[in-house]
Each structure stands twice: as structure tokens, then as C-alpha cells.
Amino acid sequence: MQKPRILQVGSLGGSPGADVSLQENHEIIALWQAADRAACLAQAADVEVVVTSAMHGCGRDIIEQLPNLKFICNWGVGYDTIDIEAANARGILVSNTPDVLNDCVADEAWGLLIATARHIAAGDRFVRENRWENKEGMLPLGTRVSGKRLGIVGLGRIGLAIAKRGLGFDMQIGYHNRNKRTDVDYTYLSTLVDLAKWSDFLVVATVGGADTRQLVNREVLTALGPKGILVNIARGPVVDETAMTELLKSGALGGAGLDVFENEPKVPDALKQLPNAVLMPHQASATVETREAMFDLVKQNLAAYFAGQPLITPVN
């Protein structure tokens, strides 16, 4: 029996064994391995399915060169790197992998929050470099987390998981969405500036894309203030990275715990040098359990499509 042909935009190496598994069950055209991208796309002109990830995406340039494309299967919850407008115009289905990563992303948001507030990364370096043993001063005092005000930008699935954890720390929970939710009792702030002024900790958990680019701008960051801490596990471009770096350096912003950046994997040197920033290489969903569950959803969506059944987790 002939295997279905698939164009794979980039490796799914974040899920161990995923690339091999795809090859076992499909005829793979590996765009990311092609020396001649245009020739590879021409070879794939008859394919109906593209497999990609939030990192690799699927832009209009790919979609327009695949006249038979009917389905884009995305490994990841975010799909801002997929041209949804171009897909919708052609009636192309898109799926993602929601829900299965909510808890692990929320866990990392909290890890970054606590690590920034309590100088955990700096303390680790302090011990490893023998500065504690050699009595080379002391770490600066940290910031208490329990009982503070937690502001969440984007109270969706992941935002709700972050808020739930905040209740365990006896925190007041506030949030900003486009619209107030009627199913929660958390404090709703109608503007981001108001939320930042209210918050001790501001966690960014909104979607990426053009509509949210630099949503957390200089005014918002300034309102968060010299004692405030920003955590971003959403998308790098949602935050004005230049303004954030300048405010962290000047002390006008207290600290930042960041899993995402504007031009990944490049991180500004100025940001790397700041002692009040904790940095992670976009790893919020990077647990064995979550990555297995994400790839399982990819396989389920592919199986559903090729069987002529409704997708498991459609985006559009």
C-alpha cells in the first residue's frame, strides 16, 4: 500500500522520534533538508498535506506553490507563523495541538516568576562560581511571591492554568482580555496599563501574531514599575523587547523571566548581560509527557484527514 505523501517544512525534533515516525507511515518530502527550496516545492506540487511547527510555520510563499494543498498540520498550539488568511482563502484546513501543553507551560511561567523574584538563577551561579564559599558578598534580597497581585495578559487555556496556580500562593488574580469573562471571579482590568499598575507580577499568555505585536509596550512596562516583574511565555514580539531591555537596565522595570524572544534564537547581548533577567530558550512545553502528547495529536489529525474524518483539533 502506497504511503501518503507529505511535505514536512521543518524537523519535529522537539518530540523525540517524531521525524522517524512520520517517515515510517508517510512518504516525506523534507523541505528543511532541501538544497534547492524551489525545486523541492515543485516536487511537492501534488501533495495535499503539510506538516509543520510553530517555529517553522507555513507562509503564503509555500501555500501558493502547492495547488493541491488541503491540510496544514501544525505541531504546537501557536499558529501565528501560518498564513491563516491564505489558508482560509483556499479552504485549506489547519490543525494545532492545544490543551495538552497547558499545564507544562503554566508550570514554566511559575518557574520563571519564582526564579526572577528570588534570584534563583543568580544564586545558582553564585554557588557554582565559589563566591559563597569565598565569602564574596551576598545576593540581593528577593521579592516575596505569596500574597501578591498576579496580572495575566490573555486569560485563555494557559492563562487560566497560570491563575489556578496563583490561588495556591494566596494571590489576588487580575487579567486583561479583549472582553471580560463571565465564568471567573478574577479582577478584570479594561486596559493593559491599568493591569500593569495593579500587578506585582505580569504574565504574558496571549496569542502571537500581528494583532498582538508589541501589545506590552513601553507604557505598559513603565506602569509595571521598578518593583514589578514581567514573565513572557507567549511570543517574543508581543513585548517591546527594546523598551523592556532599556527599562530593566535602568531599574525602571524590576525584573523579567523570559521563555520567548523577538528574533529567536537570537537574543540581544544587552539582555543577556542583565542580572535581573532570567532567560530560557523557548522551552515551556519541553517535557517528555507534553511533547509525546503533542505528537500524538499530530498523528491523530493526520490519521483523521487521510480517513476522510473531521480533524481532532481544527483551528479553522
> Any catalytic annotation for residue 282?
yes
Distance CA 260, CA 279 (A): 8
Residue 91 phi, psi (nearest 5): 70, 30
In this structure, are residues 151 and 176 in contact, taking their beta carbons and an 8 Å threshold? yes
Query: Out of 27, 136, 264, 289, which one is annotated catalytic?
Result: 264
> Any catalytic annotation for residue 48?
no
Query: Out of 56, 119, 282, 291, which one is annotated catalytic?
Result: 282
Distance CA 193, CA 105 (A): 25
In this structure, are residues 151 and 198 in contact, taking their beta carbons and an 8 Å threshold? yes
Distance CA 48, CA 69 (A): 4
For the chain, strand residue ranges (E) read 5-8, 27-30, 49-53, 71-75, 93-95, 149-153, 172-176, 187-188, 201-204, 229-232, 255-258, 277-279
> Any catalytic annotation for residue 24?
no
Query: Out of 56, 235, 241, 262, which one is annotated catalytic?
Result: 235
DSSP string, 143-179: ---TT-EEEEE--SHHHHHHHHHHHTTT-EEEEE-SS
In this structure, are residues 199 and 174 in contact, taking their beta carbons and an 8 Å threshold? yes
| C-alpha closest to that of 264 among 239, 230, 292, 293 | 239
Where in the sequence numbering do the catalytic residues fall?
235, 264, 282
